[in-house]
Structure 1
Amino acid sequence: MPSSNRRTLLVLGVLTGALVLCGCTGGGGTDGTGGTREARPDPDLPLRARAVATTDTLLADYDAVLAGPGAAQADRLRTFRADLAAHRTALASGLPSPAGSTSPAGTPSGSGSAAGGAVPPSTRPTGSAVNSVAALATAERQAAGARLADLDTASPALAKLLAAVSASDALHAAALGDTGPITVPAPAPSSSARAAASGPAVSKSPAPLPGASAAALQNALAAEHAAVYGYGVVGAWLPAGEQRQDAYATYAVHEAERDGWQRLLGAGGATPTAAAPGYRLPFQVTDAATAGRLAAHVETQLTGVYADLVAATTGPLRDRAATALRDTALRATHWGADLSALPGLPG
């Protein structure tokens, strides 16, 4: 790891992310013959409805635990419940919400067919009521995976939101004691997908990366270059022991992320961004406390970078970006960062 007296400037501004992509759906207009073209339904609506239903179930779970065994952790649970309310507000954008209707958790809800974008009923299986903090932690972890089931079919803006909500659910689960793996439910394969899977394997050369994906990957690579240097400073200022070993391990994680993005860009026909010749710290690091603050800052800034990467990519690469967003959010809180209800999203 580089020493703390290396005379370079850490430019952590590259961690802020530059790509902000949003998905739009077609609206009404003319059909070219003077007639009015009917507006197309927003394909995000059923995805939003499923995500809101998951959130409503979690809100009801929090209420049940707060009314009983969760009293000892009431302040923390109320904070996490407020995060969920923020998730619901963001996810419900565009969904029908008839006046006077409420969800089981006491928040406004839509009604009707889920396919039309309204909120389906509770997603909690019969007989699996949450009645303890441990069960609530498991429900949060399972929700973190469920959020990502629709990731690849979502618009860039909704995919970014789903990844942020999933990261927040994972943070809640870990804080409540469940650090198990995040499992994404596998969608049922279509008939065409099954036919393709049964056919002979065909070797293909890596396809060139789309421009938006390549730019977002270059931004992630630049951010990881800076993160590697940042953790070099962090490790140099921490005393020998568990914290320093923690910093060394995270340094290696960021080296691996950097190398992975370099390989991916190269395979896609792009020239990977090189490490900057100079870096500047966002504040002076003089002791273990400020070293920990630097680690939290690096990880917090990376959440925005990876949220942008989710929006700019599709398929397995989008899944990988969502995982990176969740992992860096978990590391940020480990180092003491106080993240928002939607890690990586502005505001």
Structure 2
Amino acid sequence: MQPPSRRTFLALGLITLASACTGSPGGDPDGDVLPGNRRPGPDPDLAVRLRALAATDTLLAAYDSALAAPDARTALLQPLRAETAQHRAALAYGVPAASVPPTSAATTPAANATPTATTTPTAPATPATPATPATPAALAALAALERRTAQFRLAELGAARPPLARLLASVAAANTLHATALDPTDQGIDQPAATTAPKPDAPGTGSAPGTGSTPGTDSVPALQNALGAEHAAVYGYGVVGAHLSEDRPRADARTAHAAHQAQRDAWQRLLTTLGATPTPAAGGYQLPFPVTDAPAATRLAAHLETRLSAVYADLVAALPAAQRPTAATALRDCALRARRWGAPDTAFPGIPETVPTPTATPRP
């Protein structure tokens, strides 16, 4: 038998990469498991995973307490707890059972904390109180815990390798979605997305993906992909707005359109500063399905935001560690808008279970 060719190895590498990027969140998150399910050495993400598991266990305990309370809102709480259990399973993948700590509470991380070599964020805590009726105040307290947990996960992005950072960003978006479901007074975002993007390093000092503080030239393909997706979203929202007649949906469409224009402009500025030519918008885009009325326009808006969530989840893994929160925030905002437009809930926003179909393709 002839030894495998270099092309064969490259093909196998591409298959592994595709599995890591498009597979189930519970699958191998890093694509580095050797035959026999043996890793080449200690998992460098183990400490991050254990902290993430502790935070998730705190949430699970809070949900269990709420579900055991008199007049528990089971229909609301059980699906959220089930998704939290899915998060735990994905975060625990590959962690030795003996290493997983029991459910525990820790101190709440400082606002905007960032992991460093000397300070490590700690999981948010929930008081060990007896079950109380599911009053609006109790649900709001659970929503606040979800929000603190989301912020904790964002603070951990820089300490994780790219695949785990992608998963953490997705779970953080889910935590925010849970918070808005528990507390109707907090809808997550009401303003256009941030109009700024990470500033690049000085010429010749670009960072490799997953390291450093600012994007380097290695991040350009992922940034171009995000820009192209925003071009398609801006075009798509023009179609959406043209088919909505009621005031509130049209106002929501205008707000989303402005947010995507702002984010598009931010990526264009960043790419230009990096010395790359921003990908121009196409003259037109082929929509994924015909849009002739308001219901179809609403479905298109949900589709656009869902696909953009996937783009930004991938961008989290492509950007340097310190800049991942920029993409994670965009992922969160897209997931929140997708829900507002009626997209079905998912435990892992931005991480599709199967290979997604294109959002919109430029017309030939």
Is TM (by shorter chain) over 0.5?
yes
The aligned residue for residue 82 of structure 2 is 82
1:67 aligns with 2:60: no
Segment of structure 1 superposing worse, 328-337 or 240-249: 240-249
**1:180: how far off?**
7.6
User: What TM-score, normalized to structure 2?
Assistant: 0.71
**1:224: how far off?**
0.2
Distance 1:181 1:290 in 2: 25
Distance 2:340 2:153 in 1: 23
Secondary structure class of the residue paired with 2:286: coil
Distance 2:161 2:310 in 1: 18
**1:319: how far off?**
1.2
1:344 aligns with 2:345: no
Distance 1:54 1:93 in 2: 16
4+ residue runs over 4 A deviation: 21-27, 101-105, 125-131, 203-209
The aligned residue for residue 161 of structure 1 is 167
Secondary structure class of the residue paired with 1:152: helix
**1:145: how far off?**
0.5
CA distances 1:3-27 after superposition (whole Å, capped 9, x unpaired): xxxxxxxxxxxxxx9x949756798
The runs of 5 or more residues in structure 2 that have no matched partner are 1-17, 23-28, 105-121, 133-137, 190-200, 207-214, 354-364
**1:89: how far off?**
0.4
2:227 alignment partner AA? L
Which structure's relative contact order is higher, taking Cα pairs within 8 Å and 6+ residues apart? 1
1:179 aligns with 2:186: yes
Greater C-alpha radius of gyration: 1
The aligned residue for residue 51 of structure 1 is 52
1:261 aligns with 2:262: no
**1:314: how far off?**
1.5
Secondary structure class of the residue paired with 1:43: coil
Distance 1:228 1:206 in 2: 33
Q: CA 1:254–1:206 in 2, change beyond 3 Å: closer, same or farther? A: farther
The aligned residue for residue 144 of structure 2 is 138
**1:65: how far off?**
0.5
The aligned residue for residue 278 of structure 1 is 284
CA contact (8 A) 1:144 1:166 kept: yes
CA contact (8 A) 2:54 2:103 kept: no
CA contact (8 A) 2:50 2:101 kept: no
Distance 1:102 1:44 in 2: 16
Aligned residue runs from structure 1 range 100-249, under 5 A:
103-104=102-103, 124=125, 131=132, 132-177=138-183, 179=186, 204=202, 207-208=205-206, 209-249=215-255
1:80 alignment partner AA? L
Segment of structure 1 superposing worse, 157-166 or 142-151: 142-151
CA contact (8 A) 1:144 1:167 kept: yes
Distance 2:245 2:204 in 1: 45
Distance 1:303 1:279 in 2: 19
User: What TM-score, normalized to structure 1?
Assistant: 0.74
Segment of structure 1 superposing worse, 208-217 or 314-323: 208-217
The runs of 5 or more residues in structure 1 that have no matched partner are 1-16, 28-37, 106-120, 183-202
How many residues are paired up? Answer: 285
